[in-house]
Chains A and B, each alone.
Chain A
Amino acid sequence: MILQETYKIFTRPYAKIVLLVMAVLMLIFSAAFAFEGQEYYDSLLNTFGKGVSFEGKLLNGNLFAFQLFHALWLLVALMVVFVTGGMISEEKSAGTLRMVLSRKISKTGFFTARFAAAKVFAFIVVVFMAAISLGFGLAVFGSGELLAFDNGKFTVLTANQALLSFALAYVFYFLMLLTVISISMFFSVLFNSSIKAILVTVSVIVVFYFISTLELPLFDGVKPFLFTSYFSSWAQFFTTPVNWMKLTFDAIVLLVHILVFYTASVMIFGKQEVLD
């Protein structure tokens, strides 16, 4: 069933478009990185003071992958919603849900199979992201130490440390994508229109993420309750020392969100009558 639902995802154009857009963005970024990267990073290093210098090859595949990941992670998450936001609502509006549910499969079984297929899609997106950022970066720009900039600080990681950080960051990013998917599928159950489900999901993520990133004390009390506050935690894998306690907590928060939205979706979907 999961294979079948995954096949259905890839027979639609949206999934291919998401991967194609990612590839195009990577090409645009790689052109900028190759032609103006050195100048940009030199000026960036200068902001830390005249005495800061970097031994070795600054422009390498690790830096390319890190910067591309930074540039794409939220955009890709929002693009994933275009695929997963219609996973139930599209079946409802097209009427295919009626055909499917008049068969042996139960509503819970169908939703779970679709959810699992969305997970497979998210996994493919993360692997594709790794391939076009790290794989392409290392192949074209070579390996080297990673100078990771984040929030005005930089951390230097050896090539091996960088690889491990990327691996862990991609795993966390996968978890973050699953949270996005569970929210989008929740709205997909609530609405009969895919456009509504996608728009509401994107709006919720954008508004919550905006509040999460605002450096205003007014929202400090709210931020811990917004799932978007934990979305960019993958970046912590590129700091030393890694705050494992915080990362574990952040991962648990996301897991709880996935579980809550999945359960709510199954319950609501189970009670919905299948009409035209």
Chain B
Amino acid sequence: MSDFNMEIFEGDICGIIGPNDSGKTMLLRAIAALINPDKGKIEIFGKKLIPNRAAILSKVGFLIGEPVFYDHLNLFDNLLLFARYSGGDKDNEEINRTLKRVGLYDQSDEKVGKLASGDRKKLAIAMAIYNNPPLIILDEPFSSLDIKSFDEIKSLLKTINRDQGTTIIVATKRLSELQGFINRIVLMEAGRLISEGDVEELFGRSNVGLVIETDNPSKAVKLIKESNLPVDNVVIKDGHVRVNCEKKVIPFINEYLMVSEVQVFALRPDDAISSYYLTFTE
């Protein structure tokens, strides 16, 4: 990783997005002080990470890489060990409450080794949110969750963010997971930061992603770019044109293309972040 500079503010839900090997996990490992950057500095809560490692990490909940546990112990004991490593005392009530929040309370006596991958992910999230840390950092938190669990966990994280003002950083390669979830975005590729910013600022005008199926995508892109239509991030992906725009602009795009003799077969919504991301990676 190089030339990397980013800021995340208190109360943000920040999405770090990038394909495999883009450096997302490496970045999170550096934040967790598991690896030491050759140069540069990381500050959390306004303090330098390295000299204040213990004080800072005691206030951060992590899920980095594939969830790993002591498989021969049950869920309760795993969370208890984790609490102790975090510098806390045995707090049965808080452990049970955390297991309830992620929907694993009924399985608290089960050996972790017997858990399905989705439940392992939930337990990892339980560890990250245990004791309400002011900052939660999650690497691919939604992978291997079924649709119901995905919605539950996403909703839980939103509630934590809203009710406690918890800052949440989520790294993922699947853009769709973050739709309607994040307020700040960091795009990464090949170990570099390619864009970062406030979602509202970036997509305030172009708050809808639009996929246009036409007979001539190249011509459509050229026309849209040359037009004065208020659109952003015009790209071709999978043979279709993708743009970001306000909802009210959609009929004008349709009309403009038809007048320009481009046949429009379909117009369907997409999330704005996807189109934005594609402008950097295409």
A residues near B, CB below 8 A?
A: 1, 4, 8, 11-12, 94-96, 98-106, 273-276
Q: B57 to A103, Cβ gap below 8 A? A: yes
Residues of A within 8 A of B81 (CB): 4, 8
Closest chain B residue to A96 by CB distance?
B68
Q: A98 to B64, Cβ gap below 8 A? A: yes
Q: Which 3 A-B pairs have the closest CB atoms?
A: A95-B68, A103-B85, A104-B58
Determine how close the nearest CB of chain B comes to the CB of A3; give it in whole angstroms: 9
17 contacts between A and B (CB under 8 A): A4-B81, A8-B70, A12-B72, A94-B68, A94-B71, A95-B65, A96-B68, A96-B69, A98-B65, A98-B68, A99-B68, A99-B127, A101-B34, A102-B33, A102-B57, A103-B58, A105-B87
Contact digits for B36-66, partner A, Cβ 8 Å, 1 yes 0 no: 1000000000000000011001100010111
A11, B32: Cα distance in complex, Å: 28
Give the most central of B34, B58, B66: most A CB within 10 Å.
B34
Determine how close the nearest CB of chain B comes to the CB of A250; give it in whole angstroms: 38
Closest chain B residue to A109 by CB distance?
B54
Q: B68 to A104, Cβ gap below 8 A? A: no
B residues near A, CB below 8 A?
A: 29, 32-36, 53-54, 57-58, 62, 64-66, 68-73, 81-82, 84-87, 127
Give the most central of A103, A105, A275: most B CB within 10 Å.
A103
Q: A105 to B35, Cβ gap below 8 A? A: no
Residues of A within 8 A of B54 (CB): 104-106
For the complex, would chain A's binding face be called helix, strand, loop or mixed by DSSP majority?
loop
If A8-B81, A274-B35, A275-B35 touch, whether A103 touches B86 (CB-CB below 8 Å) is: yes
Residues of A within 8 A of B66 (CB): 95, 276
Determine how close the nearest CB of chain B comes to the CB of A89; give it in whole angstroms: 15
When the two chains form the complex, which single residue of A1, A94, A105, A276 contacts B65, counting CB atoms closer than 8 Å?
Answer: A276
Determine how close the nearest CB of chain B comes to the CB of A17; give it in whole angstroms: 14
Determine how close the nearest CB of chain B comes to the CB of A67; give it in whole angstroms: 37
A276, B68: Cα distance in complex, Å: 10
Q: A102 to B62, Cβ gap below 8 A? A: yes
If A4-B84, A95-B66 touch, whether A102 touches B72 (CB-CB below 8 Å) is: no
Known: A94-B71, A105-B87. 8 other contacts (CB 8 A): A4-B84, A95-B68, A99-B68, A99-B82, A100-B85, A102-B62, A105-B54, A105-B85
Closest chain B residue to A100 by CB distance?
B85
A273, B86: Cα distance in complex, Å: 20
Q: B85 to A104, Cβ gap below 8 A? A: yes
Closest chain A residue to B65 by CB distance?
A276
Q: B34 to A103, Cβ gap below 8 A? A: no
Determine how close the nearest CB of chain B comes to the CB of A194; give it in whole angstroms: 14
A2, B161: Cα distance in complex, Å: 35
Residues of A within 8 A of B72 (CB): 11-12
Determine how close the nearest CB of chain A comes to the CB of B228; give it in whole angstroms: 51
Q: A99 to B69, Cβ gap below 8 A? A: yes
A8, B82: Cα distance in complex, Å: 12
A183, B79: Cα distance in complex, Å: 31
A144, B70: Cα distance in complex, Å: 49
Determine how close the nearest CB of chain A comes to the CB of B123; give it in whole angstroms: 11
A275, B26: Cα distance in complex, Å: 9
Give the most central of B29, B54, B68, B86: most A CB within 10 Å.
B68
Determine how close the nearest CB of chain A comes to the CB of B62; give it in whole angstroms: 4
Determine how close the nearest CB of chain A comes to the CB of B3; give it in whole angstroms: 21
Determine how close the nearest CB of chain A comes to the CB of B132; give it in whole angstroms: 15
Residues of B within 8 A of A273 (CB): 34-36
Determine how close the nearest CB of chain B comes to the CB of A213; give it in whole angstroms: 39
Q: A274 to B69, Cβ gap below 8 A? A: no
A96, B57: Cα distance in complex, Å: 17
Closest chain A residue to B66 by CB distance?
A95
Closest chain A residue to B128 by CB distance?
A102
Residues of B within 8 A of A99 (CB): 68-69, 82, 127
Residues of A within 8 A of B36 (CB): 273
Q: B84 to A1, Cβ gap below 8 A? A: yes
Q: A104 to B57, Cβ gap below 8 A? A: yes
Q: B34 to A102, Cβ gap below 8 A? A: yes
A99, B65: Cα distance in complex, Å: 9
